[in-house]
Structure 1
Amino acid sequence: MAGLTIRDVVKSYGTTKVMHGVDLDIDDGEFVVFVGPSGCGKSTLLRMIAGLEEISGGEISIGDRVVNEVAPAKRGVAMVFQTYALYPHMTVFNNMAFGLKQAKTPKDEIDRRVNAAAKILHIEEYLQRTPRALSGGQRQRVAIGRAIVREPEVFLFDEPLSNLDAALRGQTRLEIARLHERLGSTMIYVTHDQVEAMTLADKIVVLRDGLIEQVGKPMELYSTPDNLFVAKFIGSPAMNMFDVKPDAENVFVGGPVAVAPTPKNSNGEIVVGLRPEHLISCKPEEAVISGRLDLIEQLGDHVIAHLIREDGVEFVAKAEDFSSDKKGEIIHLAMDPSRVHLFDKQTEQRIK
């Protein structure tokens, strides 16, 4: 096992720069998740770590070894792809053993590693089947097993659950979490699904346009996002955002929203962020924000209410239940002031 260090890594395709000097430290045994929208550079960064993409500048180290010029097979990493990339004519055993056979590993050692990985992943009974006789979740476990048998220093996962249905995603996500706990290996996982990121990660790296926006533990990013982008990206449903201005008495107001006092390190307009799950039904005189009910989503253990303020601004509230489900009725909502988030509209940075 080994940690990983990325220093000022740049990636360009011709004159187009897609990674802009990334710096990141990953500790030995950490489970780190790269998240961000499509095109943010998360898969490109993962592929550069794997050696599948050349870096245009900077340095990548695995353990204490710089691997910029090291071939992918010799970096001590194993990658699990979005597509399972299994050989359809080979059995599960031979798919998992293929890389070891290519490396001329002794047969007894191959048998030991494949059987041990199959036991970890609960696929012992499938070893003599071909991939077409397996479900999507079983195929993904074979792909993960193929990585395990290599006994790498670092595991790399590139959106491995995106081809699975919702139930299988939840089940396989749990299996990956247990795998990390059992092996204690360094794992780097790419996803656009923030639920996967929040539930799996020791540390989340949020990327946008080839830059790291914030690095931290899941609840750190949720509770104290550094900027508007992270605040909107982390959390489901997304954080409600309201543009507000200071009035003559140093109180921020924006329609029914009122937040005081004025932050000292702000200048100009402020964006107030209210998480949907922190809004609670209340009496009109206690309301932080009120809105006309437009739509209710019934999701079993909770409901999501889509509301419209009197000035036409839309927002969302999430709760176990609401005082009303009648479309057009006015809903009054309060929240703990300590959970209000403030951002400078011009810089988009958090006001601390």
Structure 2
Amino acid sequence: MAGLTLRNIAKEYGTTRVIEDINLDIDDGEFVVFVGPSGCGKSTLLRMIAGLEDISGGHLTIGGKEMNDIAPAKRGVAMVFQTYALYPHMSVYKNMAFGLKQAKMPQPEIDERVRAAAQILDITPLLERTPRALSGGQRQRVAIGRAIVREPDVFLFDEPLSNLDAALRVQTRIEIARLHERLGTTMIYVTHDQVEAMTLADKIVVLRGGNIEQVGRPIDLYNRPDNMFVAGFIGSPKMNFFNTSDLTTDGAALLQGQADTLGMRPEHLLPATDGALVIAIPDLIENLGEYALVHCQTASGTGFIAKTTDMDRFQKGVEIGLTADPARMHFFNDETGLRIAR
């Protein structure tokens, strides 16, 4: 196992800079998730750690050793890709053993490692099958097994669940979490899905435009986002934002001084008995059983969502006043986008 340090890491393609001066510490044994919208640089940053992309500037260390000019195979990392990249003509056993054979490892040790990894991933009965005889979830487990047999210091996952259906994504996500708990190895995981980030990570790194917006524990990013971008990205459904024209007189009174925008998460909006902050006009109600997502508009036309278990209080087209616990409210400066502590 090993920790990582990234200092002033940058990446340029010609005159285009896609990674900007990244500084990050990843502790030994941590599960860190890089999350952000498409094109934010998360996969590029992961590939730089793996050695699949050159580092244009800065320094990368793994286990205290600088890795800028070290070949990928010698960095002590193993990568699991979005596409499983399995050899179609080889059995599961041979796919998992291939890298070890290339490294000229003795056959008894190869066999021991492959069978141990197969047992961890519950794929021992599949060892003699070829990839085409496997489901998508089984193929992904084989790809993970191929990484495990290398016994790396760091595991790198590049959107490994994006090709799976919804049920398999949940199942495989749980398996990856249990794998980390069992192995205790440093893991870095890239995803655009903030639900995966919230459920898997010890620490989340939110990226935008090649920059780090915020680093922290999932619950800290949820409760105390540094800015409007993080507030709107972390959480499902995303945080609602209201300005003065969207709010009642009581609501507008909260926006004083530097605050221009009031943020409230859908799950924190409640029907008001008195002193409503915003008047909602529901135009679509998605009843999902244990809760409903109520799509609303303010009188000024701003769309937002309330997440509620009190379905009977909401009717399509019927105005309802909503409020929230003051401790759950977030205030932002529009010019800087920064959250204002209150």
- The letter for the 1-side match of 2:177 is A
Name 1:338's counterpart in structure 2. 327
Aligned counterparts of 2:114 and 2:5: Cα–Cα separation in 1: 30
Aligned counterparts of 1:125 and 1:262: Cα–Cα separation in 2: 62
Name 1:243's counterpart in structure 2. 243
- Spell out, residue by residue over 1:231-259, the C-alpha distance to the aligned partner (whole angstroms, 9 max, x if none): 000011110101238xxxxxxx8346616
Instruction: Report the alpha carbon displacement of residue 330 of structure 1 after superposing the two structures with TM.
Output: 1.1
Secondary structure of 2:49's match?
A: helix
1:128 paired to 2:128: yes
| Contact 2:10–2:58 under 8 Å retained in 1 | yes
| Contact 1:121–1:145 under 8 Å retained in 2 | yes
Instruction: Report the alpha carbon displacement of residue 111 of structure 1 after superposing the two structures with TM.
Output: 0.5
- Spell out, residue by residue over 1:208-242, the C-alpha distance to the aligned partner (whole angstroms, 9 max, x if none): 00000000000000000000100000011110101
Name 2:230's counterpart in structure 1. 230
1:322 to 285, 303, 311: 311
Aligned counterparts of 2:252 and 2:280: Cα–Cα separation in 1: 17
Instruction: Report the alpha carbon displacement of residue 158 of structure 1 after superposing the two structures with TM.
Output: 0.1
| Contact 1:255–1:310 under 8 Å retained in 2 | no
1:258 paired to 2:255: no
Secondary structure of 2:243's match?
A: strand
- Spell out, residue by residue over 1:302-333, the C-alpha distance to the aligned partner (whole angstroms, 9 max, x if none): 10001111222221100113334432111222
Instruction: Report the alpha carbon displacement of residue 78 of structure 1 after superposing the two structures with TM.
Output: 0.0
Give the RMSD, CA atoms, in angstroms. 1.4
Instruction: Report the alpha carbon displacement of residue 260 of structure 1 after superposing the two structures with TM.
Output: 5.3
| Contact 2:156–2:187 under 8 Å retained in 1 | yes
| Contact 2:76–2:153 under 8 Å retained in 1 | yes
Aligned counterparts of 1:72 and 1:102: Cα–Cα separation in 2: 15
Cα separation, partners in 2 of 1:297 and 1:262, compared to 1, 3 Å: closer
Secondary structure of 1:286's match?
A: coil
Structure 1 stretches (4+) deviating beyond 2 angstroms? 253-257, 259-264, 321-326
- The letter for the 1-side match of 2:142 is V
Secondary structure of 2:155's match?
A: strand
User: 1:147-158 alignment to 2 at 5 Å?
Assistant: 147-158=147-158
Name 1:46's counterpart in structure 2. 46
Name 1:282's counterpart in structure 2. 272
| Contact 2:255–2:261 under 8 Å retained in 1 | no
Secondary structure of 2:295's match?
A: strand
Aligned counterparts of 2:204 and 2:319: Cα–Cα separation in 1: 38
Cα separation, partners in 2 of 1:98 and 1:132, compared to 1, 3 Å: same
Name 2:89's counterpart in structure 1. 89
Name 1:351's counterpart in structure 2. 340
1:199 paired to 2:189: no
Name 1:63's counterpart in structure 2. 63
- The letter for the 2-side match of 1:258 is G
| Contact 2:260–2:334 under 8 Å retained in 1 | yes
Aligned counterparts of 1:351 and 1:183: Cα–Cα separation in 2: 40
TM-score scaled by length of structure 2:
0.97
Long gaps (5+) in structure 2: none
Aligned counterparts of 1:87 and 1:185: Cα–Cα separation in 2: 26
| Contact 2:8–2:57 under 8 Å retained in 1 | yes
Cα separation, partners in 2 of 1:255 and 1:314, compared to 1, 3 Å: farther
| Contact 1:256–1:290 under 8 Å retained in 2 | no
Secondary structure of 2:316's match?
A: coil
Secondary structure of 1:258's match?
A: helix
Name 2:286's counterpart in structure 1. 297
Taking only the aligned residue pairs, the percentage that are identical comes to: 66
User: 1:173-192 alignment to 2 at 5 Å?
Assistant: 173-192=173-192
Long gaps (5+) in structure 1: 246-252
| Contact 1:204–1:218 under 8 Å retained in 2 | yes
Secondary structure of 1:140's match?
A: helix
Instruction: Report the alpha carbon displacement of residue 301 of structure 1 after superposing the two structures with TM.
Output: 1.3
| Contact 1:255–1:311 under 8 Å retained in 2 | no
| Contact 2:248–2:279 under 8 Å retained in 1 | no
